[in-house]
Chains A and B, each alone.
Chain A
Amino acid sequence: MASKVDMDFEGLASGHRACAGCGAAIAVRLILKGTGKNTIIANATGCVEVFTTPYPECAWNVPYVHSLFENTAAVAAGIEAGLKALGKKEGINVVAIAGDGGTADIGLQSLSGMLERGHDVLYIMYDNEAYMNTGIQRSASTPYGATTTTSPAGKVSIGQETRKKFVAEIAAAHHIPYVATASVGYPRDLINKVNKAVNIKGPKFIQVHAPCVPGWNYPESKTVEIARLAVETGLWPIFEMENGVITSVRKIKEKKPVEEYLKAQRRFAHLFKDERGKKVIEEIQKLADENIKRYGLMD
């Protein structure tokens, strides 16, 4: 009983409280078109949970549970195990949705446990690269050089001083059948990957790059444009890994310099002010080039 893409299915009802231009809201709406309605969602504490569930309202048109911050993978595993035990798993997709804080930081252990144990669960990390819900604090997924409220750029700081932890690669190290990255800049690709994932048995992981208007500090009309710039510069590689092997990549037709991506967002504005910033931009360019090489993003 394969799940089909259902473009008419609006799993996320309108009227939720997300900011205008919210990348995560776009992601969730698209994800549910990929899963279809026979889906149970486990959602971590975070922006998506907050803007979709102010009691007594609930924006989800599929069964939904929010438990805690770091246990989303385990709750999803329990849902899957319960359905299996009751003979009800067939035809139901169990999908965990969590942000980068809930995945790369506090939920990493529970994610690893779920992946290792082989649950038939799709875990989707919407990556807006900081703790946006609590006011833009840095996470392990915040990119090098970005200013956040806990990694502020200052006289002796360039902003985030460490490199973005790449959870997709960590997920792949669990020898799971399907790992993919996607971006809200490429909706059809995201929907198709979600649909492909839910039709594969076993643990699946998708990391979706999801720009955040207040956190990245850009005009709300630019979400898709900025998401695409991340891909076109090589900073956000889009690929699929099946059983540990890269099986597809989104090629970059015309490589853009990282400055184009960085200058579009105020979180990197401090890098354009002085010589120190210039050096950081050079480092970020190196990271993009490394991605292009590592994932074969250019022919």
Chain B
Amino acid sequence: MVKKVLEGSHAVAEAVKLCKPDVISAYPITPQTHIIERLSEFHADGELGNCQFIRVESEHSAMSVCLGASLVGARAYSASTSQGLALMYEVLFNVAGLRQPVVMTTANRALSAPINIWNDWQDAISARDSGWIQLYAENAQEAVDYTIQAFKIAESHDILLPAMVCIDGFVITHTYEVVDIPSQEDVDAFLPKKVPYLPLDPENPIGYGMIGTPEVYEETRYLIQETMEKAKKKIVEVGQEFEKKFGRPQGGLIDTYKLEDAEVAILSMGAILQTMREVVDNLREEGVPVGLIKVKSYRPFPKDEIRKAVEGLKAIAVIDRDISLGHEGALFTDVKSALYGSGERPLVKGYIAALGGRDFPETTVRKIVDDIIKVAKEGKVDKEVEWPDLRREIL
């Protein structure tokens, strides 16, 4: 393992290189570009072995190339974001339906209109029902570690689903951090060469992509859902294996921080957790009983783990950097539905903030914590969803 100061994108590129993909296919889009530029440099210097780097004419084709490559047994990787991910949308479902373990990085970014190149999660959240595993990284180190784990999870023959590592655009992709880059030897031992499952091969002709009539279509959905349930266990197992090999507790479905004696908790995903953690530390010094819940795997959604984590809490604040327009934040909905079937449960309130790259400073987090403490004290949620950083003066 070597500690390096690396831009998040370059760290991801290093991780991808260590995973020895057979085929990379991508189309440039901000803020994903630095990942594929660095991979292009590796390729140009002959550092990617026999890897075929296919620079396509669209994201739709990027994911289609990955699909074709995966079908013949190759390990395939792509990276995209925002409009690009939206253009891929149709292919995302197709890759999952054909059970191909493609791995991609999503450098999370807002969706147009208005055009906005900055960070929120609307892109990946909008693809949440596609059958892709979605892991959210808090920092560059997690981006590296989840990337390596993603291939292993996806390619397991009891899973065979595609996996997306979501990293916040600019906040992770364009900032420099100290990152532990594992050795090739260790990654090779952790992630051996892909073992193809029923590849397209003239020696043994099989067909993919048959018509699923009403007699069989529903069962294909059921099987993916069943596998998603299995993937929860697999994600935890692979995380434990990773820790054993690399000495870092990295992986699993959720994490908690200072939750033991907490009365309220703030729950979210991605890079804003860093700020939230700071605020929790500061408030703890002030004697405020607040803790943190971090969702690492958004799909499959860690329902049981969240139920367990919130036991004994009075109220939780769910922070969404996305919105299901016409309803509420997607993570908020998911957390509430996860808790609905449990016995005693805390009050839950949703906060939509930091959309389209809006800064998410400690003051916003404090505002949210103050509000959720008020909810806990009053014992009721008077308004389900707040927009704590909304600029009402420009509406």
Contact = CB atoms under 8 A, between A and B. Distances in A.
A62 B209 contact: no
A149 interface: no
Contact of B23 (A37, A40, A67, A81): A81
Contacts of B70: 78, 82
A25 B70 CA distance: 28
A74 B206 contact: no
Contact of A64 (B51, B61, B64, B205): B205
B71 interface: yes
Given A78-B66, A112-B57, A63 B73 contact: no
B52 interface: yes
Interface string B71-95: 1111010000000000000110010
A37 B202 contact: yes
B210 A54 contact: yes
Contacts of A198: none
B210 A84 contact: no
Interface string A83-101: 1111110001000000000
A93 to B, nearest CB: 9
Interface in B211-256: 211-213, 216
The 3 closest A-B pairs by CB, nearest first: A78-B68, A82-B69, A66-B209
Interface of B: 22-23, 25, 50-52, 54-58, 60-62, 64-74, 76, 90-91, 94, 98, 200-202, 204-213, 216
Scoring B65, B68, B73 by chain A CB atoms within 10 A of each residue's CB, the highest score goes to B68
A61 B205 contact: yes
Given A42-B68, A62-B205, A109-B58, A78 B211 contact: no
Given A65-B71, A67-B209, A88-B72, A82 B23 contact: yes
A243 interface: no
Interface in A43-93: 43, 49-50, 53-58, 60-68, 70-71, 73-88, 92
Contacts of A56: 210, 216
A162 interface: no
A68 B340 CA distance: 38
B68 A68 contact: no
A117 interface: yes
A50 B209 CA distance: 10
Contacts of A62: 202, 205
Given A55-B213, A75-B68, 11 more contacts: A37-B202, A49-B211, A58-B210, A60-B205, A63-B207, A81-B52, A81-B68, A82-B23, A86-B73, A110-B58, A117-B54
Scoring A43, A55, A62 by chain B CB atoms within 10 A of each residue's CB, the highest score goes to A55
Contact of A110 (B55, B60, B200, B211): B60
Contact of B60 (A55, A71, A87): A71
A45 to B, nearest CB: 9
A201 to B, nearest CB: 15
Nearest to A76: B68
B270 to A, nearest CB: 30
Contact of A65 (B23, B68, B204): B68
A40 to B, nearest CB: 5
A38 B73 contact: no
B78 to A, nearest CB: 10
Nearest to B206: A63
B201 A63 contact: yes
Contacts of B76: 78, 82
A219 interface: no
Contacts of A66: 208-210
A71 B52 contact: no
A113 interface: yes
A229 B54 CA distance: 42
Contacts of B58: 109-110, 113
Nearest to A36: B202
A21 B212 CA distance: 26
Contacts of A77: 54, 56, 61, 64-65, 68
A49 B208 CA distance: 11
A142 interface: no
A86 B202 contact: no
Nearest to A43: B209
B209 A78 contact: no
A68 B64 contact: yes
Scoring A39, A49, A53, A75 by chain B CB atoms within 10 A of each residue's CB, the highest score goes to A75
A82 B24 CA distance: 10
A55 B71 contact: no
Contacts of B90: 68
Contacts of A117: 54-56
A85 B22 contact: yes
Nearest to B196: A86
Contacts of A116: 57
A249 B62 CA distance: 37
Contacts of A83: 72, 74
A58 B213 CA distance: 14
Given A63-B207, A110-B60, A78 B202 contact: no
Contacts of A75: 64-65, 67-68, 71
A40 B56 contact: no
Given A79-B69, A81-B54, A82-B74, A63 B64 contact: no
Contacts of B74: 81-83, 85-86
